[in-house]
A = this chain, B = another copy of it.
């Protein structure tokens, strides 16, 4: 018997060795937050009692992917494969689906009235004498969202024994905008090229498309605009629509609709017409036929995104029509099919001498009420262009009769490209929680865009994606958090960015508290650090011309005045800042009166927006008692110090996670420190050359001369479209 035992023990070891020996790939970030690695034994053991079998109602495509995701996730997290079952035979079943497709679920008689078409209930129940967890939607998609939520509970170490969760999205359209060209370039993309392999579509449907859909569905994203807003019309030709349809087929089970950016002048370019005038019957007929053609291939096609009359793009103004004329033409051809138009308000005219910050408001506000019901106005979070910090866009709250859709930038065009660790959650949260005051206190931007303030049923949030062919999707592991937080806030714009960061860290790295806490703190401080080392105190648009890389506050090389940093900071020997008060451009007047009054008064204006609204003398006394010049230098310096502190934090976390991701983050933080120092030094050197003031005591002078910083040039900057 002893021999037998010995043999068995040997067998155990051999088996263990052999199984361990299967080489697993190095961690490379491909799994994103859907990283279903085995939980700690005690945690897994707890969960196993509540995950013994899966009961799923029917075999629709969405239910199949729901089942697959649960099996995959639970197999990874708990280490066992859950059997599928039709009936509850013992404790711990997971029952997923809808009342309509599952008699078992119908029997539960759960109240799903309030959760809407995409919501879900997760509830610990007793069924046929056995405990079970019910994940129930009014639609298959709701149940899929619920399944991802259930997995997230396990991934983040939450209890699952007494669940009673009701969730539904606050915003109707939760959309990623891809700035992808058909040749594979991604404008302002820093994570490789486009993940759409147009050349091999529709014949080859890369598995990555499915993983993209899984990741999006897991955070509730339900739409994707496949191509850049400045693309040509080729995407609308039959050959390309077939490719689009293939992607739509892949995404459909995950509840993701496909949208396209369309070129206003397409009827001329590929339609053979002489005009694209939105009031021309031939033009309207061309678009109607095109819409019909698209919906024949893609019955659940989402609609069009349009950038018109902006930065050189064609638009209705070419024909002396309004934005409403243009948007409504598209709206009318899409309405019979249930599609929408997302019309961008990012317009400004270089012909106008007026403050660029004011132009979108002036253009669109008078049109409130003129847009058809399926038009959303997609508006960037701030009035300039996705800068590290801007006040909220004055259009939010100013067009009560029109659904305004938020556009956030997820890709870090102005925030250090791929390498800088900048978690955008606090930026998004700052904007969403801003109070427009248009209906009194509490009229937050979140309430404007979720439709609740004015009672719109159509609402939307778009994120300009940071996704590319890089193995880790986003160019760095921490950039994944920006995709994640965008999706979570689109689902519920009142969530806290810290809570979301913590979820993400646990799912992406580890539940080890010794790692989670410092990393969440580091993430939460990272955006303010970037503001400090790039554009503190309300400064913005100080970056290099065209490619937007690095500091160039001196730059006046751009053809257009309002593309030049000097247009924005207006520094002279007396002071710095853009006067947008009633003495200046009066941009403040575009806000609701209480906000306008606040921003109009230099003393009431929050210092984080100081130089955005005011031109202030260098010796202006800040709340700290120090001069503006002192605070400017101090902020720039603090930004660099913060990055050094992030490195220090990271150094202490070696060993908590896999070596591969640890090392890449460490290398990127080193790049960030170098570039933060460069930003600080170049900006201080430049502003000092204007102010003529000595550096405050204790602050190190720039490492190199202003001349040196001005001399740097950067060929082949990624993400810049002039390849």
A469 at the B interface (CB under 8 A): yes
Closest CB in chain B relative to A211 CB, distance in Å: 10
Q: Is the CB of A21 within 8 A of B667?
A: no
* Chain A residues numbered 80-127 whose CB sits less than 8 Å from any CB in chain B: 80
In the bound complex, residues from chain B placing their C-beta under 8 Å from that of A19 are 15-16, 19-20
Closest 6 CB pairs of A and B: A21-B79, A19-B19, A25-B25, A18-B79, A23-B76, A183-B716
Residue A718 lies at the interface, judged by CB distance under 8 Å to chain B = yes
Binding site for B on A (CB under 8 A): 1, 4-5, 8-9, 11-12, 15-26, 30, 36-38, 72, 75-76, 78-80, 182-185, 192-193, 198-200, 203-205, 207, 234, 418-419, 469-471, 660, 664, 667-668, 670-671, 674, 715-718, 723
CA distance A79 to B183 in the complex (A): 45
Q: Which residue of B lies closest to A25 (CB)?
A: B25
Contacts A/B (CB < 8 Å), 5 sampled: A4-B5, A19-B19, A184-B193, A192-B469, A723-B723
CB <8 Å contact, A418 and B79: no
CB distance from A53 to the nearest CB of B (A): 16
Residues of B within 8 A of A660 (CB): 207
> How many Å lie between the Cα of A37 and that of B75 in the bound state?
22
Nearest CB on B from A460, distance (A): 30
Q: Which residues of B contact A419 (CB under 8 A)?
A: 200, 204
| Structural contact, A715 and B182, CB atoms closer than 8 A | yes
Report how many copies the assembly holds. 2
Cβ-defined contact, B21 with A25, below 8 A: no
Say whether, besides A12-B11, A185-B723, A192-B469, A199 and B717 are in contact (CB < 8 Å): yes
Please tell me if the beta carbons of B8 and A37 are within 8 angstroms of each other in the complex: no
CA separation between A558 and B681, bound complex, in Å? 53
Taking A16-B16, A21-B78, A199-B718 as given, write out 19 further A-B residue pairs in contact, using a Cβ cutoff of 8 Å, ordered by the A residue number.
Answer: A8-B12, A15-B16, A16-B19, A17-B80, A20-B79, A22-B38, A22-B76, A23-B72, A25-B25, A25-B30, A26-B207, A182-B715, A183-B723, A192-B193, A193-B193, A193-B469, A199-B716, A199-B717, A205-B667
Asked if A668 and B26 sit within 8 Å, CB to CB, the answer is: no
Q: Residue of B at shortest CB range from A11?
A: B12
Q: Which of B25, B204, B715, B716 contacts A24 (CB 8 A)?
A: B25
CA distance A25 to B664 in the complex (A): 20
* Chain B residues within an 8 Å CB radius of A203: 667, 670-671, 674
- Name the distance in Å between A521's Cβ and chain B's nearest Cβ: 25
A11 to chain B, nearest CB (A): 7
B36 and A182 form a contact (CB under 8 A): no
User: Are A17 and B185 touching (Cβ within 8 A)?
Assistant: no
Q: Is the CB of A23 within 8 A of B8?
A: no
How far does the alpha carbon of A12 sit from the alpha carbon of B9 in the complex, in Å?
9
Report which of B4, B21, B26, B30 forms a contact with A75, defined as CB distance below 8 A. Answer: B21
Residues of B within 8 A of A78 (CB): 21
Contact B24 A24 (CB under 8 A): yes
**CA of A176 to CA of B600 in the docked complex: distance in angstroms?**
64
A1 to B79, CA, bound (A): 28
Which residues of B lie under 8 Å from residue A72 when comparing CB positions?
A: 23
Residue among A1, A23, A26, A203 having the largest count of chain B Cβ atoms under 10 Å? A23
Among the listed B36, B183, B193, B469, which residue makes an inter-chain contact with A23, where contact means beta carbons less than 8 Å apart?
A: B36
**Which residue on chain B has the smallest CB distance to residue A206?**
B664
Measured between C-beta atoms, what is the minimum distance from A620 to chain B in Å?
39
Q: Are A198 and B8 in contact (CB under 8 A)?
A: no
Name the distance in Å between A548's Cβ and chain B's nearest Cβ.
14
Question: Using Cβ atoms and an 8 Å threshold, which residues of chain B touch A17?
Answer: 79-80
Distance to closest chain B CB from A215 (angstroms): 15
Known A-B contacts A5-B5, A203-B670; A37 and B12 likewise in contact (beta carbons under 8 Å): no
